[in-house]
Amino acid sequence: MAYEFLQREIPFERQKPLPVIYKEVRLDAGFRADFLVGGLVIVELKAVERLAKIHEAQVLTYLKLTHCKLGLLINFNVPLLKDGIRRLVWGL
């Protein structure tokens, strides 16, 4: 995926660290989004038999921490890729 972003000149950050800030204290909680694209979209990649609620919760947490509105949860372990994509929106 990073290769495709580079080829298309789409700005992205890979394995973006996402600290938690609590009462002005920065806590490095170990959260890392697979991709932050254009500073606006979280993209989280999986290769699992079935996406679970915990995967959605993970993306929603990343959206909260980055103040992004849109996240894509992509599961590559499906026969047809379009069936493995979930779009998640925060705060609308």
**Mind listing the pLDDT tens digit for each residue in 24-76?**
888 777 789 999 999 999 999 999 999 999 999 999 999 999 999 999 999 99
Residue 23's pLDDT band, with cuts at 50, 70 and 90, is confident
Cβ atoms of 67 and 21 within 8 Å: the answer is: no
* 57: containing domain: 2-89
Strand 70-75: give its sheet, edge to edge.
Answer: 12-22, 25-37, 41-46, 70-75, 85-89
- Which CATH number belongs to the domain containing residue 57 in this structure? 3.90.320.10
Apex 23 CA angle, 17 and 27, nearest 5:
30
Q: Is the model's pLDDT at 92 over the cut of 90?
A: no
Q: What's the domain count of the chain?
A: 1
Question: Which of 18-22, 50-54, 80-84 is the least confident region?
Answer: 18-22
Residue 17 or residue 11, greater confidence: 11
